[in-house]
Amino acid sequence: MGKRIFAHRGLNRRAPENTMAAFRKAVDAGVTWIETDVDVLQDGTVIICHDTTLDRTTNCTGSYYKLNRADLAFIDAGSWFSPAYAGEPLPTLFQLVDYMNETGLNANIEIKSNEAGAAMTRQLISAVAHELRRLHGPQVIVSSFNHVLLHEFHALAPDIPLGCLYETAALYEDWRSILELVGATYIHPEDRDLTRERVAAFRDAGFGVNVWTVNSVARAHELFNWGVEGVFTDCADEMLHLAE
Ligand code: G3P
Ligand code: CA
């Protein structure tokens, strides 16, 4: 079984998170998997952004739910990180899929739990399924903390492997039932308080295990020894030697 090092939001310590610059830095460093977050604009454009507002990672403020694709031209997603990245665009999933096809980069696409209701959530998942159909070659995993959303996504794209994300505080003993109901291939637990026994139980139930967010090489090594398949990390370039 191959071990995967996922560059969390791209190589986010070298370039602004979740931008094409961060994905290019990952590829340039030899990273083969990135993790990224997607949500949707009013017109159905799937964008790459971790937060539900633009405040932290752009020069704009507020929600993007009422914006359209044309508005992206006015968003600078790089200046907050460094003047060297001034004018770095807020990317779309369309652009990332093109880049994956061009470079062979693989991706975990985390679908954010959209806060604007069921209609916009369905618009989001159907647009993501549509965009990912354009991939030819690279591998993809779709994950979410919203397992209801993942269940609906599975009906739209039954061939795409799914990962159920869990915070430790929300990881109850019904995880197996939930993963089976969703049709998930992977469980993506938080690293905090994760034990060898729990990893063994996930694996015995037939699931691959990808853990977030692991920034210690020693901890990543330990997790791989327990049978974990992948780790999401902010320092992927320092962990590549652990990958097979
Ligand atoms: O997918 C793992 C990790 O990205 C989940 O947490 O908040 O960084 O999206 P967050
Ligand atoms: Ca994420």
Asked if 157 contacts 132 with a C-beta cutoff of 8 angstroms, the reply is: yes
Per-residue pLDDT of the chain (244 residues), as tens digits, is 569 999 999 999 999 999 999 999 999 999 999 999 999 999 999 999 999 999 999 999 999 999 999 999 999 999 999 999 999 999 999 999 999 999 999 999 999 999 999 999 999 999 999 999 999 999 999 999 999 999 999 999 999 999 999 999 999 999 999 999 999 999 999 999 999 999 999 999 999 999 999 999 999 999 999 999 999 999 999 999 998 6
CA distance 240 to 52: 31
Q: What is the reported pLDDT for 203?
A: 98
Is the Cβ atom of 88 under 6 angstroms away from ligand 1?
Answer: no
Q: What is the reported pLDDT for 65?
A: 98
Is the Cβ atom of 110 under 6 angstroms away from ligand 1?
Answer: yes
Which residues have their alpha-adjacent CB atom under 5 A from ion ligand 2? 37, 110
User: Which residue type is seen at 165?
Assistant: L
Closest to 144 measured CA to CA, from 125, 168, 119: 125
Closest to 45 measured CA to CA, from 23, 20, 75, 70: 70
Q: What is the reported pLDDT for 136?
A: 97
Considering only CA atoms, which residue is closest to atom 7 of ligand 1?
Answer: 50
Is the Cβ atom of 237 under 6 angstroms away from ligand 1?
Answer: no
Handedness of CA 129, 132, 133, 137 (dihedral sign): negative
Q: What is the pTM of this model?
A: 0.98
Q: What is the reported pLDDT for 1?
A: 55
Percentages of the chain per state (helix, strand, coil), in multiples of 5 = 35, 20, 45
CA distance 8 to 221: 17
Concerning whether 188 is annotated as a catalytic residue, the answer is no
Q: Give the distance (Å) from ligand 1 centre to CA of residue 212.
A: 7
Q: Give the distance (Å) from ligand 1 centre to CA of residue 133.
A: 24
Q: Give the distance (Å) from ligand 2 centre to CA of residue 50.
A: 7
Is the Cβ atom of 8 under 6 angstroms away from ligand 1?
Answer: yes
